[in-house]
Structure 1
């Protein structure tokens, strides 16, 4: 009986607290910039924020990761909104299914006691495919990306209005947690690179985006985000200029004062506790001591800040973008977006997290909560791969597109994945094959036998080739992610985008192109088992679980490809490294039967099983 009354009391207490919290959540508040400060309900407030992108975390884990942010001592979460993540096809919008339910993410942040900073772009960068732009924008020849161009601005307006329908009611004035909205993103760096466009035109574009946000119902305060030396191109009237990567407090204040009437508030909108990573390049680490030291500089000087990233998550599917430099025509980003962030890719506490948390406890006035328990991690006995299918056998169920020259992905109305380019030769030919317009990676076959690889990341666009009489040349071309930063963002078509040359002569006439978008896991049941060394192969298998938990697929020993588990595309793997594992969230596993399908493009080593491990391997270059 005593237990009955105790349980009844607990239930009543929880119910009453829930009602009180719900009422407070709907209470309208104010957030403004006044007298050089951020004011929440008229009281000076410091923003201690961490960036975390809902699209990079399984929805089932949102609350856990938000609790991690709160327990680190932060009071705000910032997130980009990726236009192409919600505008999934021309005229098709999705703000509801799975990870795309942005409104639910924002509400969950509020329930965990966090403010929200919204970064809607339309350009995001973020090492995300095409910086967040839908790939098909490039099909409109009158449209100029990221410019004061009416067709582009018209497209931006549609996106901004669609977004506003979902989230404008979650602004702080409406009882929600959104306290600030960003205008565009790092536009100053783009202006610096595109000196072929007049500064006045750039400023018109930036002002137009701010106007569209306001007309759609975003109330502000608005802010821009640039390096301190790039404010001239990125700052816009009516928006607070904030700095990225600025550790010198005096430089920060000087730059902001110049563009904000000689007063604050002062904010570092991107404070980097880690850094991004590319395939075939070393994984970047930044010490916990260095980050804690810089954090204390900001806290002592009452500088507002946003850790980019506090938790990175994963570039699932084909969402990772790419960079470039003078040495590499493209630098594709790895699947993991661990970022060496305070919260690891799988949501674990790191030494960096602990160091920052202890520091925050010394400086902030609000309570710093207990760290939530880590999500369980498991390993799975070696998964037997019971069936193998030659990828080329899928051609019989795909109607090819035929053209006298190879077509780009965009011309084929395909955004991601792979295209198989096939050409039959009626006369023998040998010499140097050149595909200078390769975007981005290709395995090359003559009569089904692999003869080499081409790789934009290595600037490898040619190889010696010998094609006999009545033979077929085939190139399996992979889009490894569109460039997301810099002036080259306007040149972002994929596939084969220039003539295929052999011995200086263009190869034309009856190119057949087979579209392999891999937007969903393929059904392999109707295909005859085959597995030949060097041929692109689909491996499949199943495994049973009594308990689920997070796990890492060990891809050491494999070549290059993608992995589906229970229909979820976990992203790319590549033996080049530094990433050698793929993160598989436990919430995507089933108690009972589970299915795995692997597309192995190189297939230089025939596989029989897939192994797992309980730790990520992110620092192992080939």
Structure 2
């Protein structure tokens, strides 16, 4: 193997004259035959300190390309405000896409980039920024002028940045995808029927051309299910599926004759929703379908090759055929060839074996990088805490409003609203009598806890069919037999568990928080104070007034802090199975959500988020805390509390 050329030596020897071509029934790159063996990895789900390791592991498996989406909501968090690695947002360290593409090329990988504007990806709002919801009458993912004005502004910044990395300009990018699974938006049985807006697709395509994108432009869908309804004749069509590749590829051949066959998404695993069992696939089935793809013969991108983590509040959600909301867990392990912590799985070795067997073009591959196993760090005790009322006092905004206002429509963040976290709806000086009934009209988006005079009334942690969760319409809660003051304070703390990232276009109008009204003993409550609880890094760092924990941890919602002292850093899994529901922050960075409902009972803690010496771990627990934080070498799963969403 030492005498073999690198991938770039093989395809660029003698100079670059042509990019990826589909003008014949097989791919050529720079006029040389190529089959694409690609793997998906989202740079924004992996600490950048690990990018090179994960990319080298891809190349060591024999892959010749990496594929990634580009999340609009992270790169343009406010209109005209951008973060590509130095914009100062909480996710800044994950967003240097230029560095990611350079690293891919240094690791001898080509790249496929899918900029959206919609990416799905089981990511919050399909990667779209939530401030779009403030535009009255906006029509997402269509040629609607309101939507396209935002897309044009963003793409005219993003695409020139990506254009510099095109293969024909000496970079790694061989193809760009226009939109994502747009055919799946068709609803022929709807009233009125909806067909994908091909004017929109052409406008997007033109934006690529106008920004000097000259590499192959493509689309992806299930050709068997959607045909060409969501694409253009000028775009190369690829297929997304997890079974029956021959059916999909045969259909593709009828849609575009004398072209290569490619799967842009062969689903290597699947994602998991809260309250479901963790998805675990069958390696034998995976090998069978992957080999049939290669045998066909077709090119393929494994979605995912390395899933990573939906850090912070960035997980997405689904809305099923029965209009039931299904939020995703924090982990995006995906049962992929590389695990969430970057370890090799059985599927990795299957991929390596089959690519070596079917790829006729031999190039130099690196040795398999060694895996540094996660650490079982010592447990740590909770040392200090802030009770609920202490947190409320330190929230940066207290917004008076006659009526309820959704998160997205709050006048904060330069008037772009609130994207993530919780929002508190407070009514002060209210007379609450014994056994008073609070009714929340419509649906909660997505969970709610009720406080009276800073004391938690709700106790429901896991019953999704009960009061406090999104499944209940016009939910009613008895505030109990306790006697309250005639000037009591009522708080409704509402959590956004993630916006929908897939489906028909009418399912993208997702306003989080409360909107339709709250009744106390059938009387409408007005004149609220609204307090966003965003858990931004800067706010977390400034929290003060921590009280020491004495003999036992206090009962009730609050922030609970522990100190992790390390002589060396390493990956680990934070075992939250002894806690109830909330979010964890490590050194002021929101790691993600935990919830006793399962299946995820631990949170992956990558070493780059830690440091030698003292590390602050802060937990926002919504119900009642555990007394300590435990760590594990492996993910902790639990289905004891699984409550079917079906």
Residue of structure 1 equivalent to 2:475: 462
CA offsets, 1:269-291, max 9 Å, x none? 11011001100111111111111
Provide the rounded CA distance (Å) in 1 between the counterparts of 2:635 and 2:242.
31
Provide the rounded CA distance (Å) in 2 between the counterparts of 1:548 and 1:295.
37
**8 Å contact kept, 1:389–1:529:** no
C-alpha displacement of 1:425? 5.1
CA offsets, 1:138-167, max 9 Å, x none? 111142211120121111111111111221
Residue of structure 1 equivalent to 2:247: 251
Residue of structure 2 equivalent to 1:420: 424
Provide the rounded CA distance (Å) in 2 between the counterparts of 1:321 and 1:238.
31
| Mean CA deviation greater in 510-519 or 529-538 | 529-538
Pairs within 5 Å for 1:104-119: 104-119=99-114
Residue of structure 2 equivalent to 1:404: 402
Residue of structure 1 equivalent to 2:3: none
C-alpha displacement of 1:460? 6.4
C-alpha displacement of 1:426? 3.7
CA offsets, 1:361-381, max 9 Å, x none? 222232454321113421221
C-alpha displacement of 1:589? 1.3
Pairs within 5 Å for 1:52-71: 52-71=41-60
Matching residue within 476, 484, 487 for 2:501: 484
Pairs within 5 Å for 1:182-581: 182-192=177-187, 195=190, 202-228=197-223, 229-245=225-241, 247-260=243-256, 262-326=257-321, 329-365=324-360, 366-367=362-363, 368-398=365-395, 399-412=397-410, 413-424=417-428, 426-429=430-433, 430-431=436-437, 433-452=439-458, 453=460, 454-459=467-472, 462-466=475-479, 468=484, 469-487=486-504, 488-508=506-526, 510-520=527-537, 521-528=540-547, 535-581=556-602
Residue 165 of structure 2 corresponds to residue 170 of structure 1: yes
Residue of structure 1 equivalent to 2:89: none
Provide the rounded CA distance (Å) in 1 between the counterparts of 2:101 and 2:248.
30
C-alpha displacement of 1:533? 5.5
Taking only aligned residues, the RMSD between alpha carbons, in angstroms, comes to 2.6
Residue 32 of structure 2 corresponds to residue 43 of structure 1: yes
Residue of structure 1 equivalent to 2:629: 610
**8 Å contact kept, 1:246–1:268:** no
C-alpha displacement of 1:359? 2.0
Residue of structure 2 equivalent to 1:30: 19
**8 Å contact kept, 1:191–1:202:** no
Q: 1:24 to 1:566 in 2, by over 3 A?
A: farther
List alignment gaps of at least 5 residues for structure 1: 1-16
Provide the rounded CA distance (Å) in 2 between the counterparts of 1:195 and 1:327.
14
Provide the rounded CA distance (Å) in 1 between the counterparts of 2:344 and 2:9.
32
Q: 1:338 to 1:621 in 2, by over 3 A?
A: farther
**TM norm structure 1:** 0.91
CA offsets, 1:468-513, max 9 Å, x none? 43222211111111111112443111111211134544222x2111
Describe the SS at the equivalent of 2:54. Answer: helix
**8 Å contact kept, 1:387–1:540:** yes
Describe the SS at the equivalent of 1:375. Answer: coil
Provide the rounded CA distance (Å) in 1 between the counterparts of 2:131 and 2:183.
25
CA offsets, 1:598-617, max 9 Å, x none? 111112xx433211011012
Greater fraction helix:
1
**8 Å contact kept, 1:271–1:307:** yes
Provide the rounded CA distance (Å) in 2 between the counterparts of 1:330 and 1:154.
30
**8 Å contact kept, 1:336–1:345:** yes
Q: 1:323 to 1:143 in 2, by over 3 A?
A: same
C-alpha displacement of 1:302? 1.4
C-alpha displacement of 1:220? 2.9
CA offsets, 1:3-52, max 9 Å, x none? xxxxxxxxxxxxxx9x999x989966522211122111112211111111
Describe the SS at the equivalent of 1:462. Answer: strand
Residue of structure 1 equivalent to 2:90: none
Provide the rounded CA distance (Å) in 2 between the counterparts of 1:437 and 1:92.
33
**8 Å contact kept, 1:189–1:226:** yes
Provide the rounded CA distance (Å) in 2 between the counterparts of 1:579 and 1:443.
22
Describe the SS at the equivalent of 2:186. Answer: helix
List alignment gaps of at least 5 residues for structure 2: 1-5, 87-92, 411-416, 461-466, 642-646
Provide the rounded CA distance (Å) in 2 between the counterparts of 1:491 and 1:234.
21
Provide the rounded CA distance (Å) in 1 between the counterparts of 2:164 and 2:189.
37
Residue of structure 1 equivalent to 2:61: 72
Provide the rounded CA distance (Å) in 1 between the counterparts of 2:250 and 2:383.
64
Describe the SS at the equivalent of 2:492. Answer: strand
| Mean CA deviation greater in 109-118 or 521-530 | 521-530
Describe the SS at the equivalent of 1:309. Answer: strand
**8 Å contact kept, 1:144–1:490:** no
Describe the SS at the equivalent of 1:77. Answer: strand
CA offsets, 1:523-564, max 9 Å, x none? 333344589855321011212211111010010110111111
C-alpha displacement of 1:201? 6.5
C-alpha displacement of 1:225? 0.5
Describe the SS at the equivalent of 1:37. Answer: coil
